[in-house]
C-alpha cells in the first residue's frame, strides 16, 4: 500500500477505538519532505503580512534569510488531490471517523540556526509525538502533537545534524457537529471574555481580509475549507465566517515583534536587532475574516516578550511567550 493510500484509508473508517488512538497515530510513518532555501515564498509572505498591517510597521530585512515562523510556508506535503479529506485537509495526522473537524491548537518552536537563502536543499522530518483524548464521552477532542525538524541537506547527509528549526505543533480533532436544519440558525458563538492581564507595550489593529486568508492558504498549500468556503463554515462547522488560520496568527504576532526589535535596534545605532529563538503559543478562541483584531506585545524581561491577539470583543484569542537573544 502506498503512503497516500495508507493515510487515505482513514477516510473510510467508521470508528476509531479511542483506547488505541495513541498507539495507532504515534506509530504512523510520515514521509520526509524536501524543499530549498529560496526567498520566493518568504518574499510573498512578507509582502502580504506587512501590507495587512496597513503600512503601520517599521520595515525589516526579509530578503536574505528565513525569518522566525516563515518556515510555515515551506515543506507542504505532496498529498494527492484525490486523497484530501472532505474538509480539504490532508489525512496525514487524522485520527479518522468520527473526528472530521480539525483546528490548529497551538505549538512550540525553537529557532536554533539561521537558514540563508542560498538555494540549499532542506529536509523536514516529522512524526506524531503524542495523542491526548480530552472531554467527556460523546464530546471527545483528540489533540495530536506533531514534531517537525528542519535541517540542511538530504536525509543521508543530515543524520545526526542539529536541526535548524524544531517545531511541536498541536492539532485538535473534533466530532462532526449536528447540522442545523436552517443555516440561519447559526448564531455568533457566545463565550466568556478573558482579558489579558498585561497592558500592551505595543499594539496594532488590522482586519483580516478574504484576500489575506486566500493568500496564506495558497502559500501553505492548504485547502482547508474553513479558510476558503463561507457556506461550509456556516452550514457544516457552525461558524459565522471564514476562520483566520492558527499559524497565520503566529506569523502576525512574530511579524509585529520583529518590526519592534528592528526599530529598537536602529534607535540604538550600531546594534543589531535581537533574534527570536523560541516561541510557545496557544489558540484560545476563533478569529474571523473581516472582523477587527488587535496584535499586542508586552515586554516582560529584556529577552522575554508576551504576545497575544484580541478579538473584536477584546478577549484573548491567541497568546504566546517569545524568548529573544542578542544577535551574534
Beta strands in the chain (DSSP E): 33-36, 101-111, 121-134, 141-152, 165-174, 202-206, 275-283, 293-301, 304-310, 316-325
For residue 177, the model assigns a pLDDT of 83
| 150-209 residue pLDDT tens | 999 876 555 667 899 999 999 999 998 876 544 444 445 566 788 999 999 999 999 999
pTM: 0.90
245 DSSP 8-state letter = P
Q: Where do we find the cell 476558503?
A: 228
Q: Please write the tens of the pLDDT for every residue from 248-269.
A: 999 999 999 999 999 998 888 7
Residues 6+ apart with CB under 8 A from 213: 227, 228, 242, 244, 245, 248, 289
Identify whether the C-beta of residue 315 lies closer than 8 Å to the C-beta of residue 194.
yes
Q: Mean of the pLDDT values across residues 297-303?
A: 96
Q: Is the pLDDT of residue 315 over 70?
A: yes
What pLDDT, on the 0 to 100 scale, is given for residue 159? 60
For residue 12, what pLDDT is reported? 39
Q: What is the mean pLDDT of the chain?
A: 90
Looking at 112-198, which runs of residues are DSSP E strands? 121-134, 141-152, 165-174
pLDDT for residue 193: 86
Model pLDDT for residues 83-115, shown as the tens digit of each residue: 999 999 999 999 999 999 999 999 999 999 999
- What are the angstrom distances between the C-alpha of 130 and each of 18, 19, 246? 14, 13, 20
Q: Which residues pair with 307 in a beta bridge?
A: 297, 320
Q: How many CA atoms lie within 13 A of 209 on its CB side?
A: 9
Of 39-48, 210-219, 266-275, which gets the smallest average pLDDT?
266-275
Q: How confident is the model at residue 137 (pLDDT cuts 50, 70, 90)?
A: confident
| Whether residue 178 has a cis bond before it, omega within 30° of 0 | no
Percent of the chain residues past pLDDT 70, beyond the cut: 89
Q: Give CA–CA dist 251/307, Å, rounded.
A: 11
Whether the Cβ atoms of residue 4 and residue 83 lie closer than 8 Å to each other:
yes
Amino acid at each position: 500500500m502506498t503512503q497516500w493510500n495508507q493515510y487515505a484509508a482513514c477516510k473510510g473508517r467508521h470508528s476509531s477505538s479511542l483506547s488505541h488512538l495513541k498507539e495507532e497515530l504515534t506509530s504512523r510513518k510520515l514521509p520526509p519532505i524536501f524543499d530549498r532555501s529560496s526567498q520566493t515564498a518568504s518574499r510573498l509572505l512578507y509582502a502580504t503580512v506587512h501590507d495587512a498591517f496597513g503600512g503601520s510597521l517599521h520595515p525589516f530585512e526579509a530578503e536574505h534569510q528565513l525569518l522566525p515562523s516563515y518556515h510555515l510556508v515551506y515543506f507542504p506535503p505532496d498529498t494527492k488531490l484525490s486523497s484530501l479529506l472532505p474538509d480539504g485537509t490532508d489525512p496525514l495526522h487524522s485520527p479518522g471517523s468520527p473526528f472530521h473537524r480539525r483546528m490548529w491548537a497551538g505549538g512550540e518552536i525553537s529557532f536554533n540556526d539561521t537558514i540563508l537563502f542560498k538555494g540549499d536543499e532542506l529536509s523536514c522530518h516529522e512524526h506524531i509525538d503524542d495523542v491526548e483524548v480530552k472531554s467527556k464521552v460523546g464530546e471527545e477532542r483528540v489533540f495530536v502533537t506533531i514534531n517537525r525538524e528542519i535541517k540542511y541537506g538530504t536525509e543521508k547527509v543530515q543524520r545526526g545534524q542539529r536541526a535548524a528549526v524544531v517545531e511541536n505543533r498541536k492539532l485538535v480533532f473534533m466530532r462532526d457537529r449536528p447540522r442545523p436544519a436552517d443555516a440561519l440558525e447559526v448564531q455568533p458563538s457566545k463565550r466568556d471574555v478573558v482579558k489579558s492581564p498585561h497592558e500592551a507595550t505595543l499594539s496594532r489593529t488590522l482586519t483580516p481580509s478574504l484576500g489575506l486568508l486566500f493568500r496564506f492558504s495558497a502559500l501553505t498549500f492548504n485547502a482547508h475549507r474553513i479558510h476558503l468556503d463561507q457556506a461550509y463554515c456556516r452550514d457544516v462547522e457552525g461558524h459565522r465566517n471564514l476562520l483566520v488560520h492558527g499559524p497565520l496568527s503566529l506569523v502576525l504576532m512574530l511579524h509585529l515583534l520583529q518590526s519592534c526589535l528592528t526599530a529598537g535596534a536602529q534607535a540604538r545605532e550600531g546594534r543589531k536587532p535581537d533574534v527570536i529563538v523560541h516561541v510557545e503559543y496557544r489558540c484560545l478562541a476563533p478569529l474571523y475574516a473581516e472582523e477587527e483584531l488587535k496584535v499586542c506585545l508586552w515586554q516582560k524581561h529584556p529577552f522575554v516578550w508576551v504576545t497575544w491577539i484580541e478579538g473584536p470583543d477584546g478577549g484573548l484569542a491567541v497568546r504566546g511567550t517569545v524568548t529573544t537573544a542578542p544577535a551574534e
